[in-house]
Amino acid sequence: MADLGHQLSWHAVPRPQFSGGNEVRLLRGGDELFPAQETAIAQARHEVWLATYIFYHDAAGASLVAALRAAAARGVRVRVVVDGFGSKASLDWLTQQLAGSGVALAVFRPMDRWWRWLQPGQLRRLHQKLCVVDGEQAFVGGINIIGDRVDLNHGELDAPRLDFALGLRGPVVEPVQQAARAVWTRAWLGRDFGEELLALVRSPEPLQRMRRLFRRLRMPGRDEADTGHALPPVCAAFVLRDNLRQRRTIERAYIEAIRGAQHSVDLVTPYFYPGRAFRRALLGAARRGVRVRLLLQGKVDYRIAAMAAHALYAELLNRGIGIYEYTQAFLHAKVAVVDGRWATVGSSNIDPLSLLLNLESNVVVEDESVAGEVAAAFETALAGSVCIADERAVGTGLRAVLRRGLVAWAAYVYLRVAGATGRY
């Protein structure tokens, strides 16, 4: 009965909503993303929406600030939302840079008071990286507003971190814009909620104003795009994870693609600790004879996250799944390719924070050309990686079991404190 209930609840999870006729361009790192964004912003006529986890006070951040200010000076409506934790180190600088410019800055769950650190809801962060210009161009991926050779904890880097984004045109841009607008509005209301309520009560048409406000807050839903897959290229879908209607949409997109894999599954993520359903999908694919390869971080930035991934190595290796660790630089990419025809690029890691807590966004593409580009990038990264070839190298026996149990317990406690429910 419990399994039946789980299956029914799984089928209630929204699927990606695909649209055809899109233009999709793979962008490698900030070195390619930032110039493309700034060119689009320089050509903006009406509005710019930007959402990011980190907006840092380095050369990349200063250059983008200049582009945003220039757009606002031309009369373009510019709205920026940053995460209160991810951008905490640069928030004073960013506020000063945008003061008086016409750019409206909102902070998602600010960490400006000591008591905010005690609120469990603060564990749910804005981790999306979105930029939309005039509703015509969009950029979605895993790249924060920080130079490829700069790290918050390690300073200047010897080599650029590995990361990706997609440049988009076509119908898929509309839900990206709606998502960016919704998260900005939520953050803005969090700051000025009292004034908004007062204006709403005093309004001569409070019901109509409330409806307009709800539309601004609403994330794109499952009925707002074409659902068929027999669509002209490039066939793409914008998928997000929120804490409302689409809690597991990104996870479902991954799992269904892996379950349907016939030849290969290649997955890149820096933080890897998937839930039961995700692990079963990977193990099931390997059991069917599908080549499954995971590219994970070799240069560790957070030791606890690395320990969580290592706790799964023995089981995965023993079932025939290939594990590689990227050692050329820090790994920040979140991408996957299945059978050379399905690909995803976005902000979501494969861990509890991304799959169950944070606001995340990915783009899923069903197109051999785009998937081929992502696959080629994967192979290039693989050449700079170390193969973990023997499960004995990662520990077995009682010590490995205890380590895995400790990680599972820590994940369970963290999710419950944050208010996440359901099996993981």
| Active-site residue, from 31, 58, 134, 301 | 134
Q: Which entry of 57, 242, 310, 332 is annotated as an active-site residue?
A: 332
From 83, 148, 310, 334, active-site residue? 334
Catalytic status, residue 129: yes
The residue annotated as part of the active site, out of 83, 129, 148, 367, is 129
| Catalytic annotation present for 334 | yes
Closest among 366, 371, 268 to 16, alpha carbons compared: 366
Q: CA–CA distance from 270 to each of 30, 304, 327 (Å)?
A: 17, 12, 12
- 167: which residues sit within 8 A by CB, 6+ positions away? 23, 24, 25, 27, 33, 36, 137, 138, 139
**Residue at token pair 């050369």:** 59
Q: Where are the beta strands (DSSP E) in 157-261?
A: 164-169, 235-241
Quote the tokens at residue 418: 């944050």
Catalytic site includes residue 46: no
- Angstrom distance (rounded) from CA 253 to CA 355: 12
Query: Which of 83, 127, 163, 242 does the annotation list as catalytic?
Result: 127
* 127 belongs to the catalytic site: yes
Q: Is 88 a catalytic residue?
A: no
Reduced to 3 states (helix: H, G, I; strand: E, B; else coil), residue 327 is coil
CB 43 within 8 A of CB 133: yes
Active site residue 92: no
Which of 179, 248, 338 lies closest to 6, judged by CA? 248
Cα gap 64→37, rounded to integer Å: 8
Kind of pairing between the strands at 47-52 and 360-366: unpaired
The single-letter code of the amino acid at 130 is L
Does residue 17 contact residue 26 with C-beta atoms inside 8 Å?
no
DSSP annotation of 225 reads S
How far apart are alpha carbons 271 and 170 in whole angstroms? Answer: 31
Q: Which residues are identified as catalytic?
A: 127, 129, 134, 332, 334, 339
